[in-house]
Amino acid sequence: MGAQYSALTKLGLGALAFNSALAFYNSWGDAASVAFVLLADAALLLLFLCLRQFERAAAGRGVIRDTGKIKAAVWALTTLLTAMFASRVAPLMTPAVAALVWAMAVATAAAGFWAFFLS
């Protein structure tokens, strides 16, 4: 089984690596920011791998026949990323806008849960 990735996938991963390197450089003295970038990158890479497994399973080429676990992992990772970014954006806003940011994050997670598991 050769792992062949499209040019768009390679371009996206290259952009992620470049952006992460810039983020590390700009926040090197701030351990919390470096940890945020590392966790976000890890979650994005895991999400990419989960989506690839989901596509392979849906096409009948994967080892996993039950895609429920993959859906749960995809939902958990997207919810984690949504909460992470909301936690970084909300403190920069006024209290009313921060509440709106968090409400949108919760609505996004709930809508994802509904789309993956209830519909």
pLDDT over 70 percentage in the chain: 92
Average pLDDT across the chain, whole number: 88
In a domain, 46, yes or no: yes
In a domain, 27, yes or no: yes
In a domain, 1, yes or no: no
In a domain, 2, yes or no: no
Q: Are 90 and 102 in contact (CB under 8 A)?
A: yes
Model pLDDT, residue 7: 85
CA gap 71, 11 in Å, rounded: 25
Q: Are 70 and 55 in contact (CB under 8 A)?
A: no
The continuous run of DSSP H or E covering 64 comes out as: none
Could you count the other beta carbons within 10 Å of the beta carbon of residue 118? 6
* Total number of domains in the chain: 1
Q: What is the DSSP letter of 114?
A: I
Tens of pLDDT along 44-88?
999 988 888 888 777 776 566 667 888 899 999 999 999 999 999
The region of weakest confidence among 6-10, 83-87, 95-99 is 6-10
Q: Are 101 and 93 in contact (CB under 8 A)?
A: yes
Model pLDDT, residue 3: 60
Q: Which band of pLDDT confidence, cut at 50, 70 and 90, is reported for residue 2?
A: very low
Residue type, 20: S
Give residue 40's domain range: 7-118
pLDDT at 1 over 60: no
